[in-house]
Chains A and B, each alone.
Chain A
Amino acid sequence: MSGHSTYEPKTGLERWLDSRLPIIRFANDTIVSFPTPKNLNYWWTFGGVLSLMLGLQIVTGIILAMHYVPHVDYAFNSIQRIKRDVNYGWLVQSLHANGASMFFLAVYIHIFRNLYYGSYKAPREVLWILGCVIYLLMMATAFFGYVLPWGQMSFHGAVVITNLIGALPIVGPSITTWLWGGFAVDDPTLNRFFSLHYLLPFMIAGVVALHVWALHVPGNNNPTGVNVKSKEDTVPFHPYYTVKDGFAISVFLIMYAVFVFYLPDALGDAANYIQANPLQTPQHIVPEWYLLPFYAILRAVPNKLMGVILMFGAIATLFVLPWLDTSKVRSMRYRPTMRLYYFIFVFACLVLGWCGAHAPDDLVIPNVAGPQFLDANLNSFVWLSRIGALFYFAYFWVITPLMGLTETPLPEPESISTPVLSHPASAPAGAAASPEKRG
């Protein structure tokens, strides 16, 4: 798919520019004529959603930075001032705070779609790794951003997470002090977190550019996982996918707007409306919902260092996934057994998130005193987190490599067009979707 270019400069100015900086050609090849498999379902629209969210977060963030004061004495009140006295500040702040959640919601759907349809496999490994880098940068950005309002959760969350580095042997405490810029989370920490929170989104934008570049060399994967064989299999990106993505983005924005306008605090924690007080630790320190599964993995392990290693390992695992998967079949449509494990995996991630929101010693089933097993109650969130974490790692390191070697996949279609054309429901009207289409 690379190397195609249907762009023909029409005016003298375009020809002049095209032989010097072919930027219009680039734009044309990327978002206009780019041949895209015609069978992409709605799960594929989240790439567009994510680009929009990144843009929105950057724009709203730049406006907020004009009014925000990164100082321990003023940060909390400056956010309130934005919401009370800045024209439409309540809107910009709500868009930004809820935007972070929407951004993560979209990225999780994007990642799970990728896992289901095997998009990370050859020749898209670099594309996948760049995506993992973006995800990692997003987590760092979100963490720094959550500290900025300087509420109780901001502060104590920052204490917990920066203390994790202290678990590293020998160098840990020194690195922590260096990160803090002092001997505790304090004004220097807030200042550097603000600086980094402003920097990282532009790094994300840079990696997104590489991500899109890496997408445009092999082109999109598709729900069948079968390579594009001919021109029949594709449609130009514009207008076909601009309109389809546009529709999906608009629906996504409706959900986003429900939070921004009607539930602005639903995804946040009430404790973050209390100004940070280092001397008063909240009873339960919980991260934002999108980091809960990793928090559960961290707390599933009795040893702090091991917990940290496993938590980062959970993300590091994603980077090597293309080489853990031994199956040549991309789409889980043709891997019925693996598909089952996949859905258990999705469930395990949700369970881990649920565990992360609870104190480790809380009972999973209330009022049932489960038996003590090793160091904790079997009916506590500790053990549920351990089971979830075990499945998380087993899915990537055991199930994925073994299934590829042992399973018998269903026959794949010859090309993208074959299942479509041979399908009785797919009249030329194109209104009926194929039944297995997951949209």
Chain B
Amino acid sequence: MKRRDFVGLTGLAAGALFLPSIPGFGLGNSVDPAQLLDQVDVAVKKRMADAALNAAKSAGASYADVRIGRYLNQGIFTREKQVQNIASTESYGIGVRVIANGTWGFAATNDVSEAGAAKAAQTAVGIAKANSKVQKEKVQLAPQKGFGEVSWKTPIQQNAFEVPIAQKVELLLAANAKALDNGASFVNSALFQVNEQKYFASTDGSYIDQDVHRIYPTFGVTVVDRASGKFRSRQSLSSPMGLGYEYLTPKAADKVAGPAGSDVTGYKMSYDILEDAAAAAKQAKQKITAKSVVPGKYDLVLDPHHLGLTIHESVGHPLELDRVLGYEANYAGTSFATLDKWKSGNFQYGSKQVNIVADKLQPGSLGAVGYDDEGVKTKEWDLIKQGILVNYEKIRDQAQIVGQNESDGCCYSQSWQDVQFQRMPNVSLRPGQAKLSVDELVKNVDKGIYIAGNGSFSIDQQRYNFQFGGQVFYAIEKGKIAGMLEDVAYQANTQEFWNSCAATCDASDYRFAGFFNDGKGQPSQSSAVSHGSATTRFNGVNVINTARKIG
């Protein structure tokens, strides 16, 4: 009840009032960091998986899948010149999902043994049979061939868990020092590292061993002006990525400059935390005295770090088929993108420039895996083509509802102990075909605002009306950046907004924004997802001024 349905970890502001001390993040037990490098023999996992599948079949299941998962996390937290916390955690167990009497059942255990796996399978069948009494329609799974024994690993260059903690602490403290040297009053920084060692097996004949890695360096800088009592923050422009520690070795080729005069740098497949921390402090300081925006209609030029969140909220969520069907009505909500709009074949979600694609493949993205959590090989598919809504995001038991016979491969569970369900894949805006740089895009804007970095965000439960802030805002006057603005937020209707999309830069500007903690379901589960885009222009969007006076 008190959960956020989408929690950005960028809000590492300050004191964290009433936050209990964090013995670990995630669900696991604290462990010695050395334990994070262990692997479990795949033959042992196969024996346990077979024990579960056989037990499920003997108990009367018509289908079963088993996930044996080791979920490893490390978080390092600092502020200014000190380390606040270092936590290494492991969560290891087995989850078994079955269909019996046409009904789903699920059970999980941390008894990681053949006997434990078999017992969980039997429990799951018992639950399925009990639930079948209130079931109205039998579960129908899209067909899926077995892949035999296969494996997949995130293509990383360096496992972040292999890097000594002292080296990682040193980097965060160096970033803090850069921020303090450049005028920050306060700085919090953190490094999150994740490794999911997942073994999936099903009665379809798949035995899939996957080793998934993610990393997320981030910080928040605050500048306080005691004389005026004003304070302003700027969060990191990093993104959580499906990469190893190589993300923290900056390469010149991965840096993308914002429009001339903006002092913004975006990052592709590697991130320069020292450079960004220095820029953040300078920009937070500028924000204190920046001009307060005059509300009205502006042409917006949105950088990919910012636009990724807008895509996430206004395209990624409304096209989740379980929301469209009403399964999330009591929590995350439903969707304006109803089946009749999709069936019409002419629902103009956006302008002709808008081509939005879903995938679980893009290297470096958070969604990239070889197979999803129900053994479906991952792929890419169109959601919006030249502005028209053409498809949804769906899994095996949903495909038949929309007359399709194939899952999209976007089933995911946050751990072995939660049941897998439909989650958002990567959802990305295709870059423009024609060559177009950010400066060329800005050149034609008469009265506009350039926004970089994602900030405050809010959208209604059917995804019509949204309001977004950002990290830094620059006025565009007669085709040129004309100084920083403050107190900016824009409000729009999803369909109107995407139909106001006028142009998007070419592939040379394309990069990811990612999110580590997208929440859905009751009990709530978290998933990680990336959104690729290039800097994009939207015409005539309503901008409000958010400044108020209190006490």
Is B truly associated with A?
A: no
Q: Which residues of B pack against A, CB within 8 Å?
A: none
